[in-house]
Amino acid sequence: MELSAQSVLSEEHPGLPRPSIRARLRACVTGRSSIYVLAGLPLLAVLLLLAVIVYDSLVGNVGSGLGTALSLQYFDALLHDPLMASAMWNTLGFTAVAVVTALVFGASIAWLVEKTDLPGKRLVYVIVTVGVLVPTFFTAMGWVFFLHPRIGMFNRWMMDWFSLSEAPLSIANVFGMGWVEGLGLASMAFMMTSPIFRGLNPSLEEAAAVHGLGRWLTLRYVVLPLMWPGLLACAIYISVIAFAAFEVPAIIGLGNRIFTFATVVYVKVTPDTGVPNYGYVGAISVVLILCSGLLSWWYFRVIRLSHRYGVIQGRGYRPKLIPLGRKVWPCWIALALYFGISKLMPLLMMVWASLLPYFQPFSMEALSQVSLANFSGIDWTLVWHAARNTLLLVFWVPTLALIFGLAISWIVIRSGLWGRFLYDWIAFLPHAVPSLIFAVAAVLLGLFIIPQGVPFYGTVFILLFVMVLVRISLVTRVLNGALLQINRELEDAASVSGIGTVAMLYKVVLPLLVPAILNLWIWNALLSYRELTVAAFLVTQQNITLPVAIWGLWNGGQAGQSAAVSVIFIVMLVPLVAAYWVLRTNADFQPLPRA
């Protein structure tokens, strides 16, 4: 419309710049329409994948054409499947244990960092945030070596020392899996709860104290009620993640036949024998979407409630810190213990396992068997192939997600476009819907809808496609916030002085967003590097990635080689984490709460 107006006008009215054909072409590329398209494409893809899943659950197989009668038989089958009943209880138990574990550790560390005079806070902060990046499948494997009822190092020691006939502890149950998941999610709980502690205006506590409430009553009637919505929101957020978590149930649960929803979907998509029952898979997926959607909706309600307590966001005060005094030592020991069991122990277990022909507890005899045989036995062509695919994803996933995310966020925050809230809402869907659902939908899309011969299923593109989509939520949440920080008049000034939308974004908005973009790029690169969930569903021989190679060896019973590849995998992670560390310690502290 703008263009036609221009062309009509310039005939009759001299004065304004007269658009040439070249200028009109340029306007097409540099105008807003290209931004709308850039933002619209990934969002349409999100909707398409969800539509594929829902349709699949009603017809049994999206490949069977549009004429197929819809039916609820697959949902009915779910209801009568004993596997689903046990999976439901397992999932609920797993989620509950994970949330409690994550909150106990995460909130305690947050309290220490934000409300006490603990020395070395910055170090704690950086270590905990970097801790998010340690792959969960890696720690899960470490815990198996430590607490497995038969081979676990701890159990063997206990049985030897105390002459027990049975292993005292086991990781191979719902509680153990929840514990491992929770230790990993504690980092996120820390990042979400520290702003709550930081934002608590000490004058509110002081007011209670001055008016005669003791410490306990102040906590009971003032502090907890103020913090409650924030803590609850954090718990819900973490339960959304734990509910659909795949890595821990896959590493620990699959071998021991303890299924959660996520692993049920996996075994149904990749059955040992026969053809996958896609209708059944679709039906479970829809149930998962509904549960996660419900939790996300609850999360938003609670968040809105917590904003009502605007008082805790007050500014212009210095947080009053509780002096720890001599208690600083127990605090440090507790912190060291947390880091020890959640990060260091699994790492040591993996290194140890990678050096042995078969896993055994530490002893002089075991030491004599230490060798690099596992490393030399690795199928290097496969690992090299997987590494190449992984690095490809590490570069392209964050890059594309940022380009799309920038377009979406700019539309949502700035364009004034009718329906921009729809963009925002759809961009949030990949957070509310578990990523494995998108992976399953992409499998259906690749196998049954996209014509054979198009390089999609079984290529690295299908991985790229799904991984970019599932990253859009985080990217747009962070960029929305960053864009709001930029004074709108800076953009208006560019428009009025004749600079088109794309040039304005490129020359004005982008440079101002550089810190946020850099932060997001590295973060998403790291998350893509360790991504197992999506890859596990999509990988074939051709597009294998490193985490899937590790997992494949693990499932094939080659724990030693699996550990060896893991160690290489972690070593390769070091430069990326180092880059992130440097950025995090130099730039102003801006944690990214959503992984």
Q: How far is the CB of 409 from another protein (least distance, A)?
A: 19
Q: How far is CA 144 from CA 176, 177, 423, in A?
A: 10, 10, 43
Count the neighbouring beta carbons within 10 Å of the beta carbon of residue 544. 22
Per-residue binder mask for another protein (CB under 8 A), 172-201, x = binder: ------------------------------
Minimum CB distance to another protein smaller for 354 or for 501? 501
Residues 6+ apart with CB under 8 A from 365: none
Range in contact with another protein (rule: CB under 8 A) among 66-74, 310-318, 502-510, 577-585: 502-510
Residues 6+ apart with CB under 8 A from 250: 137, 262, 263, 266, 532, 536, 551
As to burial, measured by CB atoms within 10 angstroms (0-12 exposed, 13-18 middle, 19+ buried), residue 213 is: middle
H or E stretch covering 564: helix 559-586
Q: How far is the CB of 513 from another protein (least distance, A)?
A: 10
Among 13, 22, 308, 326, binds another protein (CB under 8 A): 13
d(CA 260, CA 250): 9
Q: How far is the CB of 11 from another protein (least distance, A)?
A: 11
Among 7, 9, 164, 582, binds another protein (CB under 8 A): 9
Structure tokens at 389: 């695919």
Minimum CB distance to another protein smaller for 165 or for 497? 497
Structure tokens at 296: 């996300």
Minimum CB distance to another protein smaller for 19 or for 93? 19
Count the neighbouring beta carbons within 10 Å of the beta carbon of residue 358. 10
CB 182 within 8 A of CB 100: yes
Range in contact with another protein (rule: CB under 8 A) among 7-15, 47-55, 137-145, 473-481: 7-15
Stretch 393-452 residues interacting with another protein (CB under 8 A): 416
Is residue 587 close enough to count as binding another protein by CB under 8 A?
no
Stretch 470-499 residues interacting with another protein (CB under 8 A): 487, 489-490, 492-499
Q: How far is the CB of 8 from another protein (least distance, A)?
A: 8
Among 2, 76, 206, 379, binds another protein (CB under 8 A): 2
Q: How many residues bind another protein (CB under 8 A)?
A: 31
d(CA 555, CA 138): 14
H or E stretch covering 86: helix 82-115
Q: How far is the CB of 32 from another protein (least distance, A)?
A: 8
d(CA 68, CA 313): 55
Max CA pair span of the chain: 100
d(CA 377, CA 367): 19
Among 6, 34, 277, 399, binds another protein (CB under 8 A): 6
Is residue 21 close enough to count as binding another protein by CB under 8 A?
no
CB 263 within 8 A of CB 254: yes
Minimum CB distance to another protein smaller for 6 or for 64? 6
Per-residue binder mask for another protein (CB under 8 A), 23-52, x = binder: --------x---------------------
Q: How far is the CB of 128 from another protein (least distance, A)?
A: 32
CB 244 within 8 A of CB 181: no
d(CA 170, CA 152): 8
Place of tokens 């692993």: 263
Residue type, 348: L
Among 8, 28, 47, 587, binds another protein (CB under 8 A): 8
Minimum CB distance to another protein smaller for 495 or for 585? 495
Q: How far is the CB of 75 from another protein (least distance, A)?
A: 41
Residues 6+ apart with CB under 8 A from 322: 115, 116, 117
Among 44, 503, 578, 587, binds another protein (CB under 8 A): 503
Q: How far is the CB of 18 from another protein (least distance, A)?
A: 10
Is residue 16 close enough to count as binding another protein by CB under 8 A?
yes
Count the neighbouring beta carbons within 10 Å of the beta carbon of residue 313. 12
Q: How far is the CB of 404 from another protein (least distance, A)?
A: 23
d(CA 360, CA 377): 19
Among 254, 450, 508, 583, binds another protein (CB under 8 A): 508
Q: How far is the CB of 585 from another protein (least distance, A)?
A: 23
Closest by alpha carbon to 226, among 186, 197, 190?
A: 197
Stretch 511-540 residues interacting with another protein (CB under 8 A): 511-512
- 502 HSE (CA, 13 A, CB side): 14
Range in contact with another protein (rule: CB under 8 A) among 6-14, 66-74, 108-116, 586-594: 6-14
Residues that bind another protein (CB under 8 A): 1-2, 5-6, 8-9, 13, 15-17, 19, 31, 416, 487, 489-490, 492-501, 503, 507-508, 511-512
